[in-house]
Structure 1
Amino acid sequence: MNDQSPEMKLVHVLRAVTVEFDLLGAEFAARHGLHPTDVRALIHLLDAARDNVPATPGWLGRQMHLNSAGTTALVDRLERLELVQRTKDTVDRRRVLLEVEEKATELGWSFFGPVLADVVAVAESFDTDERETVRSFLTAVLQSSRQARSS
């Protein structure tokens, strides 16, 4: 592959964005006394809430590739920090659901809000077709990454 091809230049920019977001996540974690795993867990839980997916400890453990003991320690830590709460499922009272506390959302917005606002402003400057092209590209990259990780 030609390292200077237009396609590889996209790959290099995508890699740089990924590294920057990873560094931002690490800085956020450090400022708030969290482990990067805690931040990843919160992201999974926020995504689940947005997608109306019931987030149980077992579900979170699968997303995080943690065993039961590791998941329990993670949830205990997030609960102690008042970032997550365990609640009984109203449909199946035997099942415990995990919900992100408002405190976690506020911390996230206070730190990531300016970056997200900049990203949204850039996206708003694109027309509908351009946004769809970017979404399609990023979705394909995400699927490829997930497939590579699960192999």
Structure 2
Amino acid sequence: MHDNALELVHLLRAVTVEFGLRQAEFAAANGMHPTDVRALICLLDAARAAEPATAGLLGTRLGLNSAGTTAVIDRLERLGHVERLRDPHDRRRVLLSVTPEAIHLGQTFFGPAIETLTEALAGLTREEREAVRGFLTTAQVAFGG
């Protein structure tokens, strides 16, 4: 492997470690477990992808059994970060939704970093952004995502 390529892999690792530390800080500051933050991210990702966010989907994405998934949802609901809503197309199914308050909380904490990153990406050409996307997609797949 080329030294430069390995340097980028190490940089990606450093970024993921820092992001994990910020997630843990956010969780601790807001009375949450780190898994709760991962759950919120999963639910927000599902909303962006227009996927129905169910307990089953959340459990699968978090690698939790049914009891563990219910515990996470109960905690997040108790904290006011998640709502359980009846699916308007199938009244038997319950959908999960991140509350506007939780979104605001996350934007307040993570917003400055996200803004810095989006500004950096805005300065790249389309081809450069595609190269970054390709690398990050490969990294996600390499780690099982």
Q: TM-score, normalised by structure 2?
A: 0.97
* Residue of structure 1 equivalent to 2:134: 136
* Residue of structure 2 equivalent to 1:63: 61
CA distance in 2, matches of 1:66, 1:128: 38
1:76 aligns with 2:78: no
CA distance in 2, matches of 1:19, 1:102: 28
Instruction: Report percent identity of matched pairs.
Output: 55
* Residue of structure 1 equivalent to 2:98: 100
CA distance in 1, matches of 2:129, 2:98: 29
Gaps of 5+ in 1: none
Task: Find the partner of 1:119 among 104, 117, 120.
Answer: 117
Aligned residues: 145
Deviations 1:24-57 (A, max 9, x none): 1011111111110000000000000000000111
CA distance in 2, matches of 1:123, 1:55: 29
CA distance in 2, matches of 1:67, 1:130: 40
SS in 2 for 1:97: strand
CA distance in 1, matches of 2:115, 2:12: 19
RMSD of aligned alpha carbons:
1.0
* Residue of structure 2 equivalent to 1:28: 26
Residue type at the aligned position of 2:84? R
